[in-house]
Structure formats: structure tokens, C-alpha cells
Amino acid sequence: MLNKTAVFRQVLRPALSYKRADAQKYQRFSRSLRRHCRCLILEIVNLIFNHDWLFALFGKLNQKWRLIESVFLAYPATEEYWKAYVYSYRLPKVKWEPWLAGLLRQNGKFAVMFVISASNGQFRDPANEKSLRHVAQRMEYLRQLFAAQRKTFAGILPGVLFGKRIIRETHEAEVTVKVVEQAIEKVKSLF
């Protein structure tokens, strides 16, 4: 007579592996569907809202109500990030041309988020300095259109732009200094 372990191995394990395989297929399908929905929504948002005349209209409203504090530029840290938000055919078009990605809220103020598909290695490449200048100029133009107080950049981009003398000041450096000062004061208050 077979013991319980042998029955499990012969009968139940294959059945469980089929369920596991079905669950993995469902997860892959679900991830793919969510990715497609994100990409499609961003395509539609850009088709409708990514127009300078509309940004200028929002800027006129912002001059009155001061809701939009900054324009923010992000970029993908890895290939997985851009795959999650951009269709592959769109990548060359947005490599050095910021396109609308969303609205961020922080401390009661809003930032309009733009993205490009260029990455860290491309920022450091001397051959791309002209493209970097274009990105910085475009972000400054968008800041003016939105009547925002500042433009900000994600990751290493502020340091690269500052190091190449494409921008003269970085808001990120000021914020970092303030955060460090606050941390020092908190530590001092503990003792």
C-alpha cells in the first residue's frame, strides 16, 4: 500500500503544477494588460493635452491662482521603466523631446511632469550635449508657458546639466541643503 507522500507525488503534485502554471499565465496577462492601459492612457493624454497653446492657457490660469509650482523632467532609470509607460515605437520620438506624463501634488502645490526616454549613459556622452541643451531649453520654455516658479530634473540630470554649464543653478541643490539642515537640527534636538 502507498503511503500519503507517494500519493501526493503521483496525484496531487501534477494538478498543483497546472494550477501554478495557470496562475503565472494570468499574472503575465494581467501585467501586460496594465502596461498596455498605462501606455494607451499616456498616448491619449498627449494627443489631447500636449500642445503649447494649451500649456500657455494653463499658465494664464496659474498666474492668477498659483497652483503649479514647477515643471519636472523624469527619465527611465532602466529599460523596465520605459517599457511600463511607453510603446517601443514612441521611444525615438521622446528620447530628447519632453512629453507630458502627469501631474504631481506636493505640499498643496502641483508640478507638471514630463518625461524623456534618454538614460544616464546618454546624458554623459559628449556627442549628446546639443540634445541636452535642447531638453534644458524646452523645459525652461515649458516653465515659462506654465508660469511656474521653477523647473526641476530627476536623478543625475541636474548635476550633468550644471556640470556642462547648460544650467546655472539647480533647485535640487537648494532643497538638499535645506533637508540636511533640518536633519542636523533634529539630531541636535535629540541631545
Mean pLDDT of the chain: 86
- pLDDT tens track for 41-53: 999 999 999 999 9
Predicted confidence (pLDDT) per residue in 95-147, tens digit:
999 999 999 998 889 999 999 999 888 998 999 999 999 999 999 999 999 99
Domain membership flag for residue 27: no
Domain enclosing residue 162, as ranges = 41-182
Whether residue 117 is contained in a domain is answered as: yes
Residue 34 lies in a domain: no
pLDDT higher than 70, residue 8 = no
**16 part of a folded domain:** no
What confidence score (pLDDT) does residue 77 get? 81
Look at residue 29 and tell me if it is in a domain: no
Q: What strands lie across the sheet with 150-153, from one edge to the other?
A: 99-106, 109-115, 68-74, 150-153
How many structural domains is the chain composed of? 1
Residue 55 falls within a domain, yes or no? Answer: yes
Torsion on CA atoms 143, 73, 55, 108, rounded to nearest 10: -80
**Is 187 part of a structural domain of the chain?**
no
Quote the CA–CA distance of 164 and 167 in Å, as a whole number: 8
Residue 86 resides in a domain: yes
